Structure 1
Amino acid sequence: MGKWKICCLLSAILVLIFVLVSVTLYFTLFKPKHPRIILQSLTLESIRLVFPDLKGNVTLGLTVTVDNPNYGGFKYDNGTAYVNYRGNLVAEAPIGTDSISPRSKHNISTSVIIFADKLAVDNNFWSDLLIGAFNFTSSTSLHGKVKVFNIFKLKASSSSDCNISVFLHNQTTDSVCTYNIKL
């Protein structure tokens, strides 16, 4: 009878240690981390303007890296990148459904076409054109799921907001971005 009690006690202690180690690993090393969206490059691909009616467009090349720091995969749904000029929506770029392997990065490249007639409705457009600099804001969101060991599945979303300056004279761009992540 005494041997069974010792055996049960040792088994219970081993199960308790296994559970404690598993929970500790889950909340430290294997804790689901937030996927991040990082703007890698923003290039001015082309400018086509026709005066005096102000027709044409500005094409920006956009490369975004989605960084998945998790030990599980991140699968995201369709998303959209929005570009605003002084509060007015002037362009959209679709981001298709995809998945990212555990602990890897995934590049998404797209072109954003900004139509000049949408820019021209703002009263500040002509002064910005004479100066040769336009300030835009962009926002991108990705929603999906993080899977750890195909056991734990959590909803996740990552978004970025960027202030983008486009300089016409030397055809360069500059951007500053902030990121918001929810799990």
Structure 2
Amino acid sequence: MKSESVKRRNTCLAVTAAVVIAIVLIIVILAFTVFKAKRPVSTVDSVKLENLHVGLDIAQLRVDLNVTLKVDVSVENPNKVGFKYSGSAAQLNYRGQMIGEAPIPAGDISPGEKTGMNLTLTIMADRLLSNSQLFSDVTSGELPVNTFVRLSGKVRVLGFIKFHVVSSSSCDVTVNISNRTIGDQVCHYKTKL
């Protein structure tokens, strides 16, 4: 009698262990297939010149400049789970030097959602005017600038598996000073998981 009850108990434990292992395997398979973390994609949709004032003092070889760019960025979350990103900043660069910055507040992007962000980048004139190439760029009629946006955050799969994700975009933009428009625009996108 005892051996039969031990057999039943062992059989019950074996079945329970097999069910638990099967459930764990299903969760792991789902985590690495259906719920596999994908990289959010940030895209610069448009760059618009909102304000441009240029004053040229040829006698003193000096340029007075005030430029404001409106940058529309969208971030798409292709995951089956939400993407939570921390606060960041968009940068405006001139020939490798940061000359403007706009804060990007922390936020969440729902699964499969695409979120737009409207950023205003104003040039820090003192940083720009100290660059020796500014005078020649202004006299040529074109000001080359670069916008850089980087978002860093986490994707949680099944509530307990976390993946760190970084998405960035960099756009080289030419500001046409004579007609106050945006000329050439070339963007590069990068994501890391």
TM-score (ref. length: structure 1): 0.85
Q: Which stretch shows the higher mean deviation, 56-65 or 5-14? A: 5-14
State the AA in 2 paired with 1:29: V
**Following superposition of structure 1 onto structure 2, how do residues 1-183 of structure 1 map, counting pairs within 5 Å?**
1=4, 8-52=13-57, 54-170=63-179, 171-183=181-193
Distance (Å, rounded) in 2 between the aligned partners of 1:56 and 1:169: 13
CA offset digits 1:158-179 (Å, max 9, x no partner): 2223222222344124322223
**5+ unaligned residues in a row in structure 2: which ranges?**
none
3-state secondary structure, aligned to 2:123? strand
Please tell me the root mean square deviation across aligned C-alpha atoms, in Å. 2.3
Q: Which runs of 5+ in 1 are unaligned?
A: none
3-state SS, counterpart of residue 54 of structure 1 = strand
Cα offsets for 1:59-110 (capped at 9, x unmatched): 1100111111112211211111122111222111111111111221111111
Shift in Å at residue 181 of structure 1?
2.4
SS at match of 2:49: strand
Tell me which structure has the larger Cα radius of gyration: 2
The alignment of Structure 1 onto Structure 2 pairs a total of residues equal to 183
Residue by residue, what CA displacement relative to the aligned partner does 1:131-168 show, whole Å, maximum 9, x if unpaired?
Answer: 22222223222222222343333332222232222223
Asked if the contact 1:55/1:117 (under 8 Å) is kept, the reply is no
CA contact (8 A) 1:80 1:92 kept: yes
Specify the code of the residue in structure 2 equivalent to 1:182: K
1:57–1:116: 8 Å Cα contact kept in structure 2?
Answer: yes
How many angstroms apart in 1 are the aligned matches of 2:53 and 2:143? 15
Counterpart contact for 2:31–2:157, Cα < 8 Å: no
Return structure 1 stretches of 4+ with deviation > 6 angstroms. Answer: none
C-alpha contact (below 8 Å) 1:56/1:115 kept by paired residues: no
Structure 2 SS opposite 1:138: strand
Q: Which amino acid aligns with 2:44?
A: L
The aligned amino acid for 2:191 is I
Amino acid at match of 1:41: S
Aligned-residue identity in percent = 37
Shift of 1:116: 4.4
CA shift, 1:35, in A, is 1.7
